[in-house]
C-alpha cells in the first residue's frame, strides 16, 4: 500500500516518511532521474551507493524504446534495471509537449505538429518521426507496465508564459484528464495484484495528481481544488515555471500553502538544478524533488561544492564558487591534490580521486570522468536532503 506520515514541521519545512510497495522513503528527498532506466553514466550499484530514497524513470522514453510491454516482461523497471527500491515514473506528458515543440523548432519543416484534443495528444517520435497518441488512460496503462511504486496523472505541462485564456482551458482539460486517470486506475485493479492481468505488477501503485495553471494565481488555486477533489495519494506542482523560474516557483508555493492538505506528500516536479533551489522549496513546504541537472552539470564539468547553513532563518547553500559549483576543467585544478570536496561522503571523494585526476579525465573526455563526476553530484543533492531532514527533526 501507500501511506505518508508527516513527522515534524519547522516553519513550513516538513520531514515525513512514506511507505511504498518497495519500502520506506524519507522526506525531504531528492530523486535522481533515470531517464532511460539508468541514471546517466551510473549503474544500479552506483545509484544505490548514492542512497536516494526514490529514483525516477521517464515513461515517454521507455514507451518509445524499448517499449513498456517488453519492460513489463522483465518485471517492470525494477526488474529490468535490477533495482529493488522505490521508483517513480512520470506520465510522459512533459516530454510529449516539450520534445514535440523542440522538433517543431529544430526538425524538418514538414514535420506535423503535436496536436492536443479533448481525448489526448497526438505526437511524433523524436527518434523516427512515427505517429503516436497518448490519452490519460494510455499513460496509466504504460505506467502500469513499467510498474513504479508512484505513478503520475497525465497532464498538460504549461509553458512559463502561458496567457490566461490558454492556461484556463488547459487547467480544465487537465482536470478532466485527471478524472479519467483516476477512473482507469480504479477500474483496472490499481493494486495490480492479479498477475493474470496484462501489465499487472503485483504491487500497489500510488497515483499523484498534478497542479498546473502557469503563473496565474486564481488558476493555480482552481487547479489545486480540482486535483484535491480526486483521491490522489500525493500532490505535485507542475509546469515549466517550477524549478526553472525560482522566484515565481516560491511565490506559487506560497499561494497554495493554505490550500494543500498537510497529510499528503508534495512533489515539485523538475526542481533541483542548484542545491539552493531544493533548500528554498523545502522551506516553502515541499517534500519531493527531481531534476536531470546534477548529472547533466557533472558531464559539463560543473561539480557541486558547498555546505548547508541553517544558522539564519533563511537557510542557504554556502560556497566560495559561483552558483555553488566548481568548474573542474579550469586550470586552477590541474595539479590540485584534494578531492572535489574533502568532507563529501560520495564514492568519488572517499576513494580520494584528486581534482587534478578529474580535471585530466574531463579534459581528455574519458568515460570514467562521467561516472565519477555524476556520483559526486547526485550524492551531494541526496545528502543535502538528508541534512535538511536532520535539521527539521532536530529543531
Ligand atoms: Zn563527493
pLDDT in tens, 47-98: 999 999 999 999 999 999 999 999 999 999 999 999 999 999 999 988 888 7
What is the whole-number distance in angstroms between the Cα of residue 305 and the centre of ligand 1? 9
What is the whole-number distance in angstroms between the Cα of residue 321 and the centre of ligand 1? 16
Is a pLDDT exceeding 80 seen at residue 353? yes
Residue 193: per-residue pLDDT: 47
Average pLDDT over residues 35-53: 96
Q: Which residues surround ligand 1, an ion (CB under 5 A)?
A: 340, 344, 346, 348-349, 376
Instruction: From residue 158, give the alpha-carbon distance in Å to each of 120, 155, 170, 281, 394.
Output: 15, 9, 8, 20, 38
User: Quick one: which of 333, 323, 335, 315 has its CA closest to 297?
Assistant: 323
What is the whole-number distance in angstroms between the Cα of residue 342 and the centre of ligand 1? 8
Residue 194: per-residue pLDDT: 53
What is the whole-number distance in angstroms between the Cα of residue 65 and the centre of ligand 1? 32
Q: Output the average pLDDT for the chain.
A: 93
Supply 20's cell numbers: 511504498
User: Quick one: which of 149, 182, 136, 146 has its CA closest to 61?
Assistant: 146
User: Mind listing the pLDDT tens digit for each residue in 167-184?
Assistant: 999 999 999 999 999 999
DSSP letters along 318-373, please? E-SSGGGEEETTSGGGTT--S-SSTT--SHHHHTT--HHHHHHHHHTT-HHHHHHH
Is a pLDDT exceeding 90 seen at residue 192? no
Instruction: Spell out the residues 6+ positions from residue 242 whose beta carbon is closer than 8 angstroms to its own.
Output: 249, 252, 268, 269, 270, 271
What is the whole-number distance in angstroms between the Cα of residue 59 and the centre of ligand 1? 30
Total-model pTM: 0.95
Structure letter (DSSP) for residue 71: H
In this structure, of 120-134, 198-212, 328-342, the range with the lowest mean pLDDT score is 198-212
Q: In what order do the strands lie in the sheet with 13-20?
A: 3-10, 13-20, 23-27
CA distance 14 to 10: 6
CA distance 171 to 282: 26
Residue 240: per-residue pLDDT: 93
What is the whole-number distance in angstroms between the Cα of residue 345 and the centre of ligand 1? 6
pLDDT band at 129 (very low <50, low <70, confident <90, very high): confident
- Share above pLDDT 90 across residues of the chain, in percent, rounded to a whole number: 85
What is the whole-number distance in angstroms between the Cα of residue 71 and the centre of ligand 1? 33
Is a pLDDT exceeding 70 seen at residue 100? no
User: To 10 degrees, what angle do helices 275-283 and 246-256 make?
Assistant: 20
Catalytic residue among 149, 280, 287, 290: 290
**What does the chain come to in residues?**
395
Establish whether the linkage from the previous residue to 215 is cis, with ω within 30° of 0. no
User: Mind listing the pLDDT tens digit for each residue in 249-286?
Assistant: 999 999 999 999 999 999 999 999 999 999 999 999 99
Catalytic residue among 46, 90, 274, 280: 90
Residue 109: per-residue pLDDT: 47
Is a pLDDT exceeding 90 seen at residue 102? no
The residue behind cell 522526506 is 27
What is the whole-number distance in angstroms between the Cα of residue 322 and the centre of ligand 1? 18
> Is 263 tagged catalytic?
no
Establish whether the linkage from the previous residue to 66 is cis, with ω within 30° of 0. yes
Residue 210: per-residue pLDDT: 98
CA torsion sign, 101 to 103 to 104 to 110?
negative
Residue 255: per-residue pLDDT: 98
What is the whole-number distance in angstroms between the Cα of residue 390 and the centre of ligand 1? 20
Q: Judge residue 246's burial from the number of C-beta atoms within 10 Å of its C-beta, 0-12 exposed, 13-18 middle, 19 or more buried.
A: middle
Average pLDDT over residues 310-329: 97
Average pLDDT over residues 282-306: 98
Supply 357's cell numbers: 585526476
What is the whole-number distance in angstroms between the Cα of residue 298 and the centre of ligand 1? 11
What is the whole-number distance in angstroms between the Cα of residue 353 and the centre of ligand 1? 9
**3-state DSSP assignment of residue 267:** strand
Average pLDDT over residues 17-25: 96
> Is 90 tagged catalytic?
yes
Amino acid at each position: 500500500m501507500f501511506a505518508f506520515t508527516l513527522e515534524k514541521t519547522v516553519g513550513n519545512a516538513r520531514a515525513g516518511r512514506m511507505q511504498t510497495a518497495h519500502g520506506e522513503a524519507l522526506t525531504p528527498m531528492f530523486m535522481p532521474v533515470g531517464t532511460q532506466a539508468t541514471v546517466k553514466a551510473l549503474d544500479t550499484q552506483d545509484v544505490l551507493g548514492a542512497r536516494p530514497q526514490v529514483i525516477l524513470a521517464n515513461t515517454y522514453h521507455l514507451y518509445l524504446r524499448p517499449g513498456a510491454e517488453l519492460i513489463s516482461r522483465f518485471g517492470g523497471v525494477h526488474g529490468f534495471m535490477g533495482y529493488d527500491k522505490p521508483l517513480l515514473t512520470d506520465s510522459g506528458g512533459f516530454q510529449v509537449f516539450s520534445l514535440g515543440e523542440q522538433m517543431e523548432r529544430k526538425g524538418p519543416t514538414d514535420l506535423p505538429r503535436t496536436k492536443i484534443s479533448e481525448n489526448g495528444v497526438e505526437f511524433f517520435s523524436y527518434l523516427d518521426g512515427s505517429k503516436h497518441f497518448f490519452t490519460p488512460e494510455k499513460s496509466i496503462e504504460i505506467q502500469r507496465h513499467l510498474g513504479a511504486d508512484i505513478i503520475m496523472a497525465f497532464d498538460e505541462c504549461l509553458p512559463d508564459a502561458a496567457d490566461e485564456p490558454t492556461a484556463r482551458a488547459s487547467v480544465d482539460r487537465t482536470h478532466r484528464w485527471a478524472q479519467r486517470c483516476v477512473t482507469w486506475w480504479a477500474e483496472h485493479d490499481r493494486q495490480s495484484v492479479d498477475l493474470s492481468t496484462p501489465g499487472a505488477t503485483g504491487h500497489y501503485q500510488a497515483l499523484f495528481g498534478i497542479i498546473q495553471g502557469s503563473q496565474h494565481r486564481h488558476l493555480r488555486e482552481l487547479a489545486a481544488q480540482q486535483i484535491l477533489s480526486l483521491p490522489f495519494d500525493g500532490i505535485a506542482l507542475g509546469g515549466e515555471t517550477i524549478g526553472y523560474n525560482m522566484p515565481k516557483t516560491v511565490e506559487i508555493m506560497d499561494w497554495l500553502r493554505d490550500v494543500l492538505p498537510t497529510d499528503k506528500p508534495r512533489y515539485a516536479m523538475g526542481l533541483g538544478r542548484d542545491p539552493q533551489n531544493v533548500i528554498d522549496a523545502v522551506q516553502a513546504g515541499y517534500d519531493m524533488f527531481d531534476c536531470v541537472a546534477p548529472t547533466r552539470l557533472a558531464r559539463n564539468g560543473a561539480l557541486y561544492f558547498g555546505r548547508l547553513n541553517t544558522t539564519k532563518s533563511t537557510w542557504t547553500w554556502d560556497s566560495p564558487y559561483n552558483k555553488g559549483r566548481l568548474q573542474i576543467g579550469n586550470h586552477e585544478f590541474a595539479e590540485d591534490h584534494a578531492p572535489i570536496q574533502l568532507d563529501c561522503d560520495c564514492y568519488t571523494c572517499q576513494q580520494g580521486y584528486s581534482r587534478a585526476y578529474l580535471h585530466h579525465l574531463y579534459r581528455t573526455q574519458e568515460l570514467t570522468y562521467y561516472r565519477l563526476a555524476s556520483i559526486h553530484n547526485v550524492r551531494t543533492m541526496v545528502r543535502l536532503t538528508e541534512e535538511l531532514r536532520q535539521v527539521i527533526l532536530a529543531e
